[in-house]
Structure 1
C-alpha cells in the first residue's frame, strides 16, 4: 500500500503533575518532534479540556487532541460548548477524539450505569450527530475556530463502532486490540486480526477512503536492552496475546532505525500514517521520529 499522506506522531499524556510539570512535558513533546499532544480521559487522570488549554499555552506548533473522550460521560450539548470554546481559545489547534467508553470500574466510580456495548455506541452516534448539527449552524455560539468544528477522531475495534467511524470520522484510530468485557485488560491483535478490521472499515469507507486518516496506538515500544521474548511480557495486557513482538502490529522493538523501519512497514502494509505512543515512551520514541523525517 502506497503512502498517500505524511507521517504524524502523537503522544498521549495522562500522568498528573503540577502546572509547571505539565507545561514542561508538553513543550518537551514539541521539541522532540511530535505533531500531536493528546490527553486521555480516565478518572484519576487530568481533565482533558483544561489540560489541553495549558498545553496550548506551553506550545506553538503541535495539534492538541482528546485521545479519547469517554463519550457516555458527557451531555452532548454541554460537550459541544466545551469543544467550541477550547478550539476558539487554542486558535483552531483542536482535534476531537471520541470513544464509546470501556472501563466498567470508571462508570461505577462515577455512579453511572454501564450500558451495553451497543448502547454506548448508540450514545456516541447521538453525540456525533448533535456536535455536527450544532457546529454546522452559523448561529451557534460559541463558534469553534475551525469551520464546522474540529476534525473528528473516533477510536474503536468492534463492528458497530468502526461502522460509525467509517461513516463520520476524519480520523479512525485503532487501539491495537480490543478490551475485555469490563475493560480491565486489552487483547492485543495479531497482524491477521488487524487486517480483517481494516478490510471491514475500507468496505464501508468506499469513496471516502483517501480522505480518512488511519491512526494506530502503539501499546509497547521496546528498546533492544529489554528481553522482548519473555513469555509473560504481555501478561498484564492479555493472557492470550501473542508473545513475540513481531506478531503484534501495536508493538515496535529494537534500535531507533529498526523501529523506524517497522513504522514504514506498518504504513505500507496497513495504511497507517498517524501513530500515537504513550507518555512513558516519549523520550524513547523520539529518535524514531527523527529517523523518519
Structure 2
C-alpha cells in the first residue's frame, strides 16, 4: 500500500504483439518508472498468465497484475493452479486482480451465460473463496511463492462488488465507470465517485487503513488536445460529467505538473494512491511519474 507521500503507478497492457514487441514494452514500462505491469483479460487480447511470466523474465522489479481476470471465464479450482504456478514462476511478484466481467458479447462468444449482475458477482465470490481455501492450504501444490497466495485486487462499482472487495481484497480498484445492463461502461462523475469511495470505506471499517484504493485512468490528454478530446466525447458522456471533467480522477488533462497536482488533489479527496493508465498512455503519463517521484 502506498504511504501518504508515495504513489504507485501501473500500466494496463491490452495490445497483443510479437514476443519481441511484448518484451520491449515491458522493459520500457519498467524503465519509465511504472511499479506494476497489468494485463487485461478480454477475448482477442494477450493471454494474461503467459504474458506476465514473459514480463517477469525480462524485468527486475515491477509487480505483475491480472487487471482484471473475468472470474466467469475460469473454473475456480483450475484457476488456483494457474495462480499458484504463475506466482511461483514470477517469484512472488504476482498481484491477482479479479472482476465479475461486464462485456456481454464476450460471454456470448465464449458460450458462457451472461446472466444478471448478481449472478456474475456470485461466480466471483465463489472463485475468491475457493482460491483462499486452496492457496492457504500448506499442502497445496503447486505452492504459491507466499502463504495464502498473491495479494488480491478486486475491481468493481456496484454495492455487492465493493462489499466483496472490502471483505477480501488488499486493493479495491475503481474503473470510475458503472457497467450497464447492456454490457457497456458509463463514465461516472466526481460526486458519484465520492459516494462509491465512501461506501467502500464504510464497508472496510477497521480495515480501511490497510487497503489500497486504485483508479483506472481512461485518458491522459495534453492541454493542446483538450478541445479535441471534449468534442470527441461530447456525444458519449453525460453533459454533467463532461462539465466536471477537470475534477474527474479518470481523465487527466494538461501538462505533467498540472496532472501531478491533480493526482495529489484526487488522493486527498478520494484516497486514490495507486494509479493505473492504459497502454495507449504509457509514454504520455511517464513525465507525471517523474514529477511525483
Could you report, residue by residue, the CA deviation over 1:171-220 in whole angstroms, capped at 9, with x for unpaired residues?
00000111222223x21111110010011111110100001000011111
Instruction: Name the structure 2 match of 1:213.
Output: 212
SS across alignment from 1:86: helix
**Secondary structure, counterpart of 2:148 in structure 1:** coil
> As a proportion of its length, which structure holds more helix?
2
- List alignment gaps of at least 5 residues for structure 1: none
Which residue does 1:7 correspond to in 2?
Answer: 7
* Unaligned 5+ runs, structure 2: none
| Residue 224 of structure 1: aligned partner | 223
Tell me how far 1:237 sits from its aligned partner. Answer: 5.0
List per-residue Cα deviations over 1:17-69 (Å, max 9, x = no partner). Answer: 00000000000000000000000000000110000011111100100000000
Which residue number corresponds to residue 146 of structure 1?
146
CA separation of 1:52 and 1:262: change in aligned 2, threshold 3 A: same
The answer to whether 1:69 aligns with 2:41 is: no
Structure 1 consecutive aligned stretches of length 4 or more whose deviation exceeds 6 Å: none
Contact 1:8 1:274 in 2 (8 A): yes
CA distance in structure 1 between the aligned counterparts of 2:128 and 2:5, rounded to whole angstroms: 26
The aligned runs of 1:157-196 (5 Å cut-off) are 157-184=157-184, 186-196=185-195
Normalised by the length of structure 2, the TM-score is: 0.96
Q: 2:249, 2:263 within 8 Å by CA — same for their partners in 1?
A: no
For 1:89 and 1:211, locate their aligned partners in 2 and report how far apart those are by CA, in whole Å: 27
Does the CA-based 8 Å contact 1:189-1:249 persist in structure 2? Answer: no
Instruction: Kindly report the root-mean-square deviation, in angstroms, between the aligned alpha carbons of the 2 structures.
Output: 1.6
2: distance between equivalents of 1:241 and 1:37?
33
Secondary structure at the aligned position of 2:241 is classed as: coil
Kept in 2, the 8 Å contact 1:232–1:243? The answer is no
TM-score by length of structure 1 reads: 0.96
